[in-house]
Amino acid sequence: MKSDNGSGMPALGAVPAPNEQPERTGTVVRGEKIEKTSYEASEEVQRWLRERDAERVGEKPPFTPTFLAHQRDRLWVLSSLERFYEEDLIADVLHVVQSGKEATVYCCAADPATGLEYLAAKVYRPRMFRGLKNDAVYRQSRAQLDADGHEVRNDRRWKAHQRSGRGQSERVVSWITYEFLTQQRLYEAGADVPRPLSHIGNGVLMEYVGDADGEAAPLLREVELPAEEAEPIFERIVRNVELFLACDRIHGDLSAYNILYQEGAIAVIDFAQALDPRYNPEVYPLLLRDVERICQHFARYGVDADAGAIAGEMWARYLAGEL
């Protein structure tokens, strides 16, 4: 194949056309004007650029989702999602599903390699790095994880490290890693949670719960269940709570706002506040609150359930090692 610059290489936009003067920069040295040819116009540089260009064949183009072009927090979001793109997990960012106080959830086009059509990317805000004063309760009752998800001993050195600036940002990593690992553990145990695919510093990538057009499933809070579905869905949620406990986890923020509903099926989401009871025996009130909120929601459908009895019985079996 012959290219118009006769080099056998693809013509580069930077090569001046015959009727154009190469761009020149003038510099004055000791009163004498020396004409310097622009760096890029030099034959050597041009050849080097052509070689680099040829090397790029087969490499992925840079990640520039059009949806993000006009978003205020474009750079932050890009830096979070780029890794998922490089790992051939996502191909594009399509729209915002929900923007909450701590995180924004994006609907992404999945990379064909995943065999899926859409993926949900939950990206935590930078604000998270400043608002960590209230997580003491949760810190106490979960194992601390380092960036790789390994448990870190709760010694003095670790506590001093936690107070340092680096510790602050690692705590966010640890929190997100924990959310991912919790979801992974529950998914593998067969719980109704979206399949988690990957996580990075401030983002979690998971199965998208929605329809074929990329419309996200509504929250349980937003739907009016058919009467005959209420009881079975309620029981299914309770069975999930029990399964979570069998996996040493309490959701910690369970309600109809953190359960998606689609065509008779549910998906429990948002494990950011999940707790491990082994690290704090005082967490029963949180389990009780999770169950109470579910019972309250289903009372409108006439489901008559005693939250205290359900949670109490579950907890007793957990402590007896019977779950």
Binding region for Mg ion (CB under 5 A)? 258, 270
Q: Which of 15, 108 has the CB closer to ligand ADP?
A: 108
Partner whose footprint covers residue 203, from Mg ion, ligand ADP, none (CB < 5 to 8 Å by kind): none
Distance (Å, rounded) from C-alpha 195 to C-alpha 174?
A: 20
Shortest-Cβ-distance residue relative to Mg ion: 270
Residue type, 25: T
Distance CA 176, CA 65 (A): 24
Residue 285 C-beta: closest distance to ligand ADP, Å: 21
- Least Å from the CB of residue 123 to ligand ADP: 10
When CB distances to ligand ADP are compared, the closest residue is: 100
For residue 103, the partner it binds in Mg ion, ligand ADP, none, with Cβ less than 5 to 8 A by kind, is: ligand ADP
Closest approach, Cβ 262 to ligand ADP, in A, equals 9
Nearer to ligand ADP (CB atom), residue 267 or residue 310? 267
Which of 94, 310 has the CB closer to ligand ADP?
Answer: 94
CB 85, min distance to Mg ion, A: 25
Of the two residues 195 and 317, which places its CB atom closer to Mg ion in the complex?
195
Which is nearer to ligand ADP, 294 or 305 (by Cβ)?
294
CB of 236 to ligand ADP, least distance (A): 18
Looking at beta carbons only, is 141 or 273 nearer to Mg ion? 273
At closest approach, how far in Å is the CB of 194 from ligand ADP? 4
- Contacts to ligand ADP by CB under 6 A: 97-98, 100, 102-103, 105, 120, 122, 194, 206-210, 216-217, 219, 258, 269-270, 272
190 contact choice in ligand ADP, Mg ion, none (CB below 5 to 8 Å, kind-dependent): none
Name which of Mg ion, ligand ADP, none residue 64 binds, using a CB cut-off of 5 to 8 Å depending on partner kind: none
